[in-house]
């Protein structure tokens, strides 16, 4: 039976290719929606939830592992979801951290086909300095941003609403959604935002 909450096009998403840096990315050939956030923010889980696939993006209990730029094709849209390296993982050596952040920054500034950016932040710790830096880079190029406050299930309804309001106040220009890969809060709204960016609306 079809899952009514899942977007039928996003559910056809398939892994395409991984690249260690912008230079190795595939040719710019369709609209791309990037997913970024601190490592452990719930990025891989969100990608799996949005596409209705258990193992599309690897969910790791050990944060800081995803260092590649991973491209996933969304067939009927001609577009791609792009899983970007997680940042801010404390246990990674400083030089390596800087290198990943450099790759991420280069991608956000130079990738012309990037039409949307989903910033994932733990609902309990949103808008860190690095998160704000990502938004600044997106704003420079007028890339649309969606802010997903992940792990919504970890807070009470009240606390979650307060967190969303305070983030929304700081980012009046972005859609801010509470999101949970566990209970699928925000799934329909987030899917629709992503799908619209892929279809150039």
Ligand X SMILES: Nc1nc2c(ncn2[C@@H]2O[C@H](COP(=O)(O)OP(=O)(O)O)[C@@H](O)[C@H]2O)c(=O)[nH]1
Binding site for Mg ion (CB under 5 A): 43-44, 66
Q: Are 30 and 79 in contact (CB under 8 A)?
A: yes
Q: Residue 158, exposed/middle/buried by CB under 10 A (0-12, 13-18, 19+)?
A: exposed
Distance, in Å, from the CA atom of 107 to the CA atom of 183, rounded to the nearest integer, reads: 32
State how far Cα 107 lies from the chain centre. 14
Which is closer to ligand X, CB of 59 or CB of 141? 59
Helices (H), 57-128: 94-110
Distance, in Å, from the CA atom of 177 to the CA atom of 179, rounded to the nearest integer, reads: 6
Task: Give the nearest distance from C-beta 180 to ligand X in angstroms.
Answer: 4
Q: Pick the binder of ligand X from 13, 31, 34, 42 (CB under 6 A).
A: 42
Q: Pick the binder of ligand X from 9, 43, 111, 197 (CB under 6 A).
A: 43
Q: Pick the binder of ligand X from 22, 59, 127, 175 (CB under 6 A).
A: 59
Encode burial over 111-123: b for 16+ CB neighbours within 10 A, e otherwise: beebbbbbbbbbb
Site string for ligand X, 157-196 (x = CB under 6 A): -----------------------xxx--------------
Q: Pick the binder of ligand X from 86, 88, 116, 126 (CB under 6 A).
A: 86
Binding site for ligand X (CB under 6 A): 37, 39-45, 59-61, 63, 86, 150-151, 153-154, 180-182
């Amino acid at each position: 039976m079809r899952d009514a909450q899942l977007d039928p096009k996003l559910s056809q998403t398939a892994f395409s290719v991984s690249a260690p840096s912008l230079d190795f990315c595939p040719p710019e050939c369709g609209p791309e929606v990037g997913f970024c956030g601190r490592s452990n923010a719930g990025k891989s889980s969100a990608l799996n939830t949005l596409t209705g696939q258990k193992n599309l993006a690897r969910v790791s209990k050990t944060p800081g592992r995803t260092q590649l730029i991973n491209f996933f094709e969304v067939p009927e849209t001609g577009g791609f979801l792009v899983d970007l390296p997680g940042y801010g993982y404390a246990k990674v050596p400083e030089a390596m951290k800087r290198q990943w952040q450099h790759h991420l920054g280069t991608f956000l500034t130079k990738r012309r086909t990037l039409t949307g950016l989903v910033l994932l932040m733990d609902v309990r710790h949103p808008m860190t300095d690095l998160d704000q830096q990502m938004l600044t880079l997106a704003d420079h190029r007028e890339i649309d941003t969606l802010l997903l406050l992940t792990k919504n299930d970890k807070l009470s309804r009240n606390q979650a609403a307060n967190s969303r309001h305070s983030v929304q106040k700081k980012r009046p220009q972005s859609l801010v959604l509470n999101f949970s890969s566990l209970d699928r809060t925000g799934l329909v709204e987030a899917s629709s935002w992503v799908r619209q960016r892929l279809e150039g609306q």
